[in-house]
């Protein structure tokens, strides 16, 4: 009973914002405020305009039995019969994560940093199934950084999302303090400091690249607007869903209040694969390869840069003298890796993709080792390489570990590299024209095709093998 | 050119055995280890399942081109045309991992511990797909512990195994220094210090529990014999493949030279699920729940123990006063979790199972926090609880972090707990009788009352 009485006095104080966790209870128990967000179960009528109300309702416990009651309601909120008439908000905290904690009163957690919110789209998919557990374990942001995961799915994948939340519960990670699941980005992205946009629509049979760009572009336009409306003003966005460069461009164009340089398209997997191929060719262990840049689009026009790469600190061209291999086979090997993997085991490379996303995040939150750099596809405005402005192009970056980065100036670009960079740039400019209707650039182009879309003149399908 | 020349002189000719060379150059010594291998599609009458040759053939590099050719050979050893006539050894190092390194020669790695060999069966499956990356990242054994992964698959899954090795390559984990893949446990388990036996045969349609025990028992009997023959004498074995308790028993019975106490059946997932359910019921965060024991078999006779469990250091029965829930619903909720998950997303709980395997290993390699304990299915010989000897039963354990453990003496067992422990004990004794032909204990007699497989598991 002593337990319950403490809680009761704590609860009467704080009934306002859900983020206020500092119930000044003097007991050794953490303060407990239940946050129940109303949830809209799949199958009921959805209206398309999201409502962005304050959805938080705090429920306090008064006795152990009553302590127990709200928790099942959070999980039973799934069944519509308990909730009465459906509401439109669609983000729900899950199970044991519907509790709030005052870290300062807890001996172990006192030294922890302030909780950060990490939103993940496509959260019920295979890549997320690896990634979420890495984030929860502390491997990504550090062992003193508690995280709140906000998982975005679709009506179709909502139950799978619940399965993910249950597995996260069963994993008992101390740093994972909140898990919310939902299908509305305006709910899920609220106050997010990181947004990992993994979800995308796969290619259907007979779908042209122009159609793929359009369908996915719409998703990322909406997500960009949602981020613009509700996310942290300095949110870092990493786009994984393909075609990732152009999806990133569309996203940032729809989020004018968020700095364009905060948006990244993932090319780290290509960088990791390139390092592995160089290591294999040179007969060294992969930790000896550094300064590996991937230039351009995450497609078959990508440019793995052997000119500036290093092995054991030496230029690659001094270690691998087979220039023929470097100029022709190297790029192919990197690009075809995904396709080979599919052939080997019929699944796409979810595990290593998740590893590369972790690497990409860590490259921004920990200082780049002296003399090294990493690749990320970012907004080209102001770049020192002569690449066209206003596209998202993979380039070499360094970071101080503050979430930000700067482009690396001291790289050499010879004719070979320049020519290939130009080709990828041309492709990205063509993709950009094709999605002009989604980036707000429609009126700048004179040619539109009949249905009001942008102008699509994409030469060939440049999707990397092994990716949807 | 300089790179290649340094590596050849004096190094290749002298040491053709293991990888611990003392290269005096700043480059790590390079010995290529390519073992020939029998690709799956060459099987037929030529395949002999159990030849234990020394398959390791060391190839030295003499020039960059040849260095590249060798590594290519190591990679293309997969295609039979390069290898000539097929050999029957089935363990092959993979790609970039076919290089051996002198870790002492490098600043970064000088303070690392000696490399350990971790063997994993069922290595192409979903649980392994999560687990191997955790092992490679350093999360399990620590960031100063380099590891060698030895992956055991089957003929059917060999290509998938190669896919796993490729993804591990692309992940660039510094601590992951070797990856070998194969289909023969006598090759793969060689010198293993840890063996994580995840692979098992799933239940076919209409299969009775006795048949399942028999089919899987044969797999684990062979793996036990292989461990006995080639693994480290102090290898730690964690059996995940179901029915895991009896599989662990069969395995240890076939490995008489390895201490029986080294064998574990995984019940940590049940323990983690139990902690989560107690936390939900009590309205606390799960890190406040401790001393949760799972007693018995990893089946529907398992006994989640609320009597000895604690929340915030207080006995659970003082925090959760709903005795009816504790006695009736709590156990059900823990047991049915896997089934609920299958319904939610159609896949079994590979990710959280991998997490629980990591927890189980870490519980043995890091000292148990003061006052707490963990559950694992271990050999009952010498147990202080009055449980029948000679079976593998989940019980509360503590560890000093040296890979070993001791059973916890200070637990209370009341009538309720005693009765349920007895039921699980009976089941395990019946299963043991049913597999007597595999444990060398006489003629098998199967009298299994009903199917007690946990929902959501194969």
Cβ proximity of B306 and B271 under 8 Å: no
Contacts of A286 in chain B (CB under 8 A): 96, 169, 172
pLDDT tens readout for residues B30-52: 333 333 333 334 333 333 334 34
Q: How far is CA A242 from the centre of its chain?
A: 12
Burial code (b: 16+ CB inside 10 Å, e: under 16) for B114-125 equals: ebebbbbbbbbb
Give Rg (Cα) of chain B. Answer: 24
Where is pLDDT greater, at B187 or A53? B187
pLDDT tens readout for residues B87-104: 334 567 888 887 766 666
> What mean pLDDT do residues A180-191 have?
96
> What mean pLDDT do residues A281-305 have?
95
**Interchain pair B282, A275: CB under 8 A:** no
Across B64-78, B193-207, B215-229, the highest mean pLDDT is recorded for B215-229
Judging by DSSP bridges, how do beta strands A289-290 and A310-311 pair with one another?
Answer: antiparallel
- Taking the CA atoms of residue A195, residue A198, residue A201 and residue A202 in that order, the dihedral angle to the nearest 10 degrees is 170
Please provide the average confidence, as pLDDT, over all residues in chain B: 82
Indicate whether B244 pLDDT > 90.
yes
Indicate whether B212 pLDDT > 80.
yes
Q: Please give the helix or strand (H or E) that residue A408 lies within, else none.
A: none
Cβ proximity of B240 and B358 under 8 Å: no
Cross-chain CB nearest to B95 (options A96, A280, A320): A280
pLDDT tens readout for residues B408-450: 999 999 999 999 999 999 999 999 999 999 998 888 888 886 7
The whole-number pLDDT of residue A206 equals 79
Cβ proximity of A249 and A439 under 8 Å: yes
A positions 137-176 inside 8 Å of B (CB): 137, 139, 159-160, 162-164, 166-172, 174
pLDDT confidence band for A345 (50 / 70 / 90): confident
Q: Helix count (H) and strand count (E) of chain A? A: 16, 17
- Taking the CA atoms of residue A119, residue A393, residue A298 and residue A232 in that order, the dihedral angle to the nearest 10 degrees is 0
Q: Peptide bond preceding A243: is omega within 30 degrees of 0, i.e. cis?
A: yes
Catalytic residue check, A264:
no
Cβ proximity of B385 and B414 under 8 Å: no
d(CA A410, CA A396): 10
The whole-number pLDDT of residue B251 equals 97
Cross-chain CB nearest to B133 (options A320, A325, A355): A355
Burial code (b: 16+ CB inside 10 Å, e: under 16) for B261-279 equals: bbbbbbbbbbbbbbbbbbb
Q: Which residues, including other chains, have CB under 8 Å from residue B49's CB and lie 6 or more apart?
A: B184
Q: Say what angle helices B268-282 and B350-365 make with each other, to 10 degrees.
A: 100
The whole-number pLDDT of residue A106 equals 67
Where is pLDDT greater, at A275 or A62? A275
Indicate whether B381 pLDDT > 90.
yes
Chain A contact for B62, CB < 8 A? no
Indicate whether A451 pLDDT > 50.
no
Judging by DSSP bridges, how do beta strands A303-305 and A293-295 pair with one another?
Answer: antiparallel
> What mean pLDDT do residues A44-48 have?
32
Q: Please give the helix or strand (H or E) that residue A467 lies within, else none.
A: none
Coil/strand/helix, residue B44 = coil
Contacts of A61 in chain B (CB under 8 A): 283
Give Rg (Cα) of chain A. Answer: 24
Angstrom distances, CA of residue B188 to CA of A250, B179, B240? 50, 10, 18
pLDDT tens readout for residues A50-76: 343 333 332 222 333 333 333 333 333
**Which range is least confidently modeled, A92-96, A284-288, B273-277?**
A92-96
pLDDT tens readout for residues B135-146: 999 999 999 999
Indicate whether A343 pLDDT > 90.
no
Q: Please give the helix or strand (H or E) that residue B394 lies within, else none.
A: strand B392-398
Chain B contact for A340, CB < 8 A? yes
Contacts of B275 in chain A (CB under 8 A): 172
Where is pLDDT greater, at A394 or B83? A394
**Which range is least confidently modeled, A327-341, B56-70, B175-189, B286-300?**
B56-70
d(CA B344, CA B338): 10
pLDDT confidence band for B70 (50 / 70 / 90): very low
d(CA B267, CA B169): 31
pLDDT tens readout for residues B318-347: 999 999 999 999 999 998 898 888 888 787
Chain A contact for B164, CB < 8 A? yes
Indicate whether A24 pLDDT > 80.
no
**Interchain pair A283, B320: CB under 8 A:** no
Chain A contact for B333, CB < 8 A? no
Query: Where do runs of H (alpha helix) occur along A77-125?
Result: 80-83
Query: Where do runs of H (alpha helix) occur along B61-125?
Result: 64-76, 80-83
> What mean pLDDT do residues B149-172 have?
94
Chain B contact for A5, CB < 8 A? no
Chain A contact for B174, CB < 8 A? yes
Please provide the average confidence, as pLDDT, over all residues in chain A: 80
The whole-number pLDDT of residue A403 equals 97
């Amino acid at each position: 009973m002593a337990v319950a009485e403490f809680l009761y006095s704590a609860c009467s104080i704080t009934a306002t914002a859900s983020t206020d966790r500092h119930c000044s209870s003097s007991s050794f128990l953490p303060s407990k405020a239940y946050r129940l967000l109303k949830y809209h179960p799949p199958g009921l009528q959805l209206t398309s305009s999201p409502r962005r109300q304050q959805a938080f309702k705090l429920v306090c416990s008064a006795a152990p039995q009553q302590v127990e009651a709200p928790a099942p309601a959070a999980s039973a909120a799934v069944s519509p019969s308990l909730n009465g008439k459906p509401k439109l908000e669609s983000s729900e905290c899950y199970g044991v994560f519907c509790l709030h904690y005052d870290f300062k009163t807890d001996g172990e957690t006192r030294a922890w940093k302030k909780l950060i919110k990490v939103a993940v789209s496509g959260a019920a998919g295979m890549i997320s199934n690896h990634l979420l557990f890495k984030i929860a374990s502390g491997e990504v942001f550090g062992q003193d950084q508690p995280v709140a995961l906000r998982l975005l799915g679709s009506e179709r994948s909502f139950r799978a999302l619940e399965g993910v939340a249950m597995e996260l519960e069963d994993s008992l990670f101390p740093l994972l303090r909140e898990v919310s699941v939902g299908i509305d980005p305006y709910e899920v992205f609220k106050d997010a400091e990181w947004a990992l946009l993994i979800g995308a629509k796969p290619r259907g049979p007979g779908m042209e690249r122009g159609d793929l760009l359009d369908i996915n572009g719409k998703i990322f336009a909406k997500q960009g607007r949602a981020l613009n409306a509700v996310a942290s003003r300095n949110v870092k966005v990493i786009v994984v869903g393909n075609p990732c460069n152009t999806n990133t461009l569309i996203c940032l164009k729809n989020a004018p209040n968020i700095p364009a340089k905060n948006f990244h398209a993932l090319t780290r997997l290509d960088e990791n694969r390139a390092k592995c191929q160089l290591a294999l060719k040179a007969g060294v262990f992969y930790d000896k390869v550094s300064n590996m840049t991937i230039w351009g689009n995450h497609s078959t026009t990508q440019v793995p840069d052997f000119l500036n790469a290093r092995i054991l600190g030496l230029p690659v061209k001094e270690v691998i003298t087979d220039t023929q291999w470097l100029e022709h086979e190297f790029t192919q090997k990197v690009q075809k890796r995904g396709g080979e993997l599919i052939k080997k085991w019929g699944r796409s490379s979810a595990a290593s993709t998740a590893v590369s996303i972790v690497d990409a995040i860590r490259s921004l939150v920990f200082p780049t080792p002296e003399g090294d750099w990493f690749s990320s596809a970012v907004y080209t405005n102001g770049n020192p390489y002569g690449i066209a402005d206003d596209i998202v192009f993979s380039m070499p970056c360094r970071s101080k570990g503050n979430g930000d980065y700067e482009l690396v100036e001291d790289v050499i670009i010879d004719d070979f590299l320049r020519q290939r960079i130009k080709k990828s740039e041309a492709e990205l400019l063509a993709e950009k024209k094709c999605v002009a209707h989604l980036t707000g650039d429609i009126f700048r182009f004179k040619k539109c095709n009949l249905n009001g879309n942008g102008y699509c003149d994409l030469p060939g399908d440049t999707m990397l093998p092994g990716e949807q | 050119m300089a790179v290649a020349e340094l590596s050849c002189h004096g190094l290749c000719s002298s040491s053709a055995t293991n990888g611990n060379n003392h290269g005096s150059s700043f480059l790590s010594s390079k010995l290529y280890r390519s073992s020939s291998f029998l690709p799956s599609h060459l099987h037929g009458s030529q395949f002999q399942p159990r030849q234990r040759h020394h398959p390791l053939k060391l190839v030295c590099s003499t020039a960059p081109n040849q260095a590249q050719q060798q590594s290519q050979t190591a990679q293309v050893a997969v295609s039979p045309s390069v290898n000539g006539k097929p050999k029957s050894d089935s363990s092959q190092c993979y790609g970039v991992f076919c290089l051996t390194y002198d870790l002492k020669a490098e600043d970064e790695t000088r303070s690392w511990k000696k490399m350990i060999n971790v063997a994993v069966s069922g290595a192409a499956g979903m649980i392994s797909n999560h687990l191997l990356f955790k092992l490679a990242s350093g999360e399990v054994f620590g960031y100063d512990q380099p590891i060698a992964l030895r992956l055991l698959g089957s003929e059917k899954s060999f290509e998938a195994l190669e896919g796993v090795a490729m993804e591990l390559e692309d992940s660039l984990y510094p601590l992951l220094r070797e990856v070998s893949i194969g289909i023969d446990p006598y090759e793969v388990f060689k010198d293993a210090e840890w063996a994580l036996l995840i692979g098992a045969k799933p239940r076919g349609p209409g299969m009775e529990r006795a048949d399942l025990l028999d089919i899987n028992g044969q797999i684990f009997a062979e793996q036990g014999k292989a461990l006995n023959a080639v693994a480290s004498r102090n290898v730690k074995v964690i059996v995940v493949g179901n029915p895991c308790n009896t599989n662990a028993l069969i395995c240890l019975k076939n490995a008489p030279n390895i201490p029986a106490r080294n064998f574990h059946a995984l019940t940590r997932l049940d323990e983690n699920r139990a902690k989560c359910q107690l936390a939900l019921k009590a309205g606390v965060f799960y890190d406040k729940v401790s001393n949760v024991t799972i007693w018995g078999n990893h089946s529907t006779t398992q006994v989640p123990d609320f009597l000895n469990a604690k929340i915030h250091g207080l006995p659970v029965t003082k925090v959760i006063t709903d005795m009816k829930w504790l006695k009736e619903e709590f156990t059900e909720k823990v047991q049915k979790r896997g089934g609920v998950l299958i319904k939610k997303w159609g896949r079994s709980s590979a990710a959280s199972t991998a997490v629980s395997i990591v927890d189980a290993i870490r519980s043995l390699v890091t000292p148990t926090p003061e006052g707490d304990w963990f559950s694992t299915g271990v050999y009952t010989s010498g147990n202080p609880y009055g449980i029948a000897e000679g079976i593998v039963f989940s019980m509360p354990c503590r560890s000093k972090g040296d890979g070993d453990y001791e059973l916890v003496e200070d637990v209370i067992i009341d009538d309720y707990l005693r009765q349920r422990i007895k039921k699980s004990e009976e089941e395990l004794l019946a299963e043991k009788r049913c597999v007597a032909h595999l444990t060398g204990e006489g003629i098998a007699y199967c009298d299994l009352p009903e199917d007690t497989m946990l929902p959501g598991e194969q």
